[in-house]
């Protein structure tokens, strides 16, 4: 058969890619299957995907729609070699080496199974079993995601706190005061990570006269950086500063 599936070792190339198949004199027609298997025997199991992918890329460069054909060809040569070894006389002098090679071949075959999109040579019961296993896996994943969703939405209930019409700025002032409160130990009561947190809280949980509060509009009252208020910052008008938060005196 002509060599078309595997990247060949160029004749007399002294620095070939380590996955090229062939010898110093190149790749003789009709031997690419043997030399592909021979190279496979020299590789550790963790390199099987890279080895397979190297030659698949080479083949797809010539046959862009040929992934299934390439897989089938590799599957067949591995299967034939496994069958050949399994039918050898178990009492011959090469039995120990045969068992080592068989182990490599079956491990490579497991790798091929893991990337098989075409159910190559699987029986109907095997295909059904695989589908049931995939269904169980998906059901388990769905159950996990539902559990996570339930946890995430525990606090996501409908409803809001309504502010009387025209009194939203009074709430903003109260929130400003909350940020400035220091406890008797001189430490702040609240440590917001960012002023945007207050904006999110207000827009999510409050309405003014049952109308949504615009997230971008209130940016002027809650700038991102309190140390750099910027040109758009706006103070709360004195007429809206109706309440003052004070630290309660300890009772004796």
pLDDT 10s digits, 140-160: 899 888 888 887 777 666 788
pLDDT score of 136 more than 90? no
**Average confidence (pLDDT) over 230-238:** 85
Per-residue confidence at 188, pLDDT binned at 50, 70, 90?
A: confident
Q: Is the pLDDT of residue 85 over 60?
A: yes
pLDDT for position 121: 76
Q: Tell me what percent of the residues of the chain surpass a pLDDT of 90.
A: 40
Distance between CA atoms of residues 173 and 243, nearest Å: 8
The residue-averaged pLDDT of 174-201 equals 84
Higher pLDDT, 92 or 56: 56
pLDDT value at residue 73: 94
Confidence of residue 122 (pLDDT cuts 50, 70, 90): low
Let me know: does 160 contact 209? Beta carbons within 8 Å: no
- pLDDT exceeds 70 at position 2: no
Q: Mean pLDDT for the chain?
A: 86
pLDDT above 70 (res 124): no
Interval 189-213 mean pLDDT: 87
- Determine the pLDDT at residue 157: 67
More confident residue, 222 or 230: 222
Least confident of 39-53, 80-94, 119-133, 190-204: 119-133
**Sign of torsion over alpha carbons 106, 107, 112, 115:** positive
| 70 contact partners, CB below 8 Å, separation of at least 6 | 5, 55, 56, 59, 60, 63
User: Does 119 have pLDDT greater than 60?
Assistant: yes
Q: Which of 203, 198, 165, 182 is nearest to 245 (CA)?
A: 182
Q: Which long-range contacts (CB under 8 A, 24 or more apart) does 99-102 make?
A: 101/41
Is 247 a residue whose pLDDT tops 60? yes
Question: Could you tell me the two tokens for 200?
Answer: 């999110």
For 101-139, b/e burial (b = at least 16 CB within 10 A) is: bbebbeebbeebeeebeeeeeeeeeeeeeeeeeeeeeee
Predicted confidence (pLDDT) at residue 111 exceeds the cutoff of 90: yes
Q: Which residues pair with 208 in a beta bridge?
A: 163, 211
pLDDT at 13: 75
Which has more confidence, 38 or 246?
A: 38
In this predicted model, what pLDDT tens digit does every residue of 38-74 receive, in sequence order? 999 999 999 999 999 999 999 999 999 999 999 999 9
- Whether 180 has a pLDDT exceeding 60, the answer reads yes
């Amino acid at each position: 058969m002509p060599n078309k599936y595997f990247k060949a070792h160029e004749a007399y190339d002294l620095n070939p890619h380590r996955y090229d198949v062939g010898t110093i004199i190149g790749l003789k027609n009709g031997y690419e299957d043997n030399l592909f298997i021979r190279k496979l025997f020299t590789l550790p199991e963790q390199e099987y995907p890279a080895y397979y992918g190297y030659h698949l890329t080479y083949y797809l460069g010539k046959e862009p729609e040929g992934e299934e054909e390439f897989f089938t060809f590799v599957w067949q040569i591995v299967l034939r070699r496994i069958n050949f070894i399994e039918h050898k006389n178990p009492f011959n002098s090469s039995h120990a080496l045969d068992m080592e090679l068989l182990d490599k071949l079956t491990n490579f075959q497991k790798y091929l199974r893991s990337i098989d999109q075409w159910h190559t040579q699987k029986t109907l019961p095997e295909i059904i079993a695989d589908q049931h296993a995939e269904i169980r896996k998906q059901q388990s994943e769905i159950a996990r995601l539902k559990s996570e969703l339930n946890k995430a939405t525990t606090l996501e209930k409908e409803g809001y706190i309504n502010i009387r019409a025209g009194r939203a700025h009074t709430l903003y002032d109260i929130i400003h005061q909350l940020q400035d409160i220091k406890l008797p130990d001189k430490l702040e009561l609240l440590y917001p990570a960012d002023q945007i947190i207050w904006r999110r809280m207000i827009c999510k949980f409050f309405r003014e006269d049952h109308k949504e509060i615009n997230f971008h509009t209130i940016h002027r009252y809650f700038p991102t950086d309190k140390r750099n208020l910027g040109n758009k910052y706006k103070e709360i008008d004195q007429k809206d500063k109706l309440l003052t938060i004070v630290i309660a005196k300890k009772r004796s």
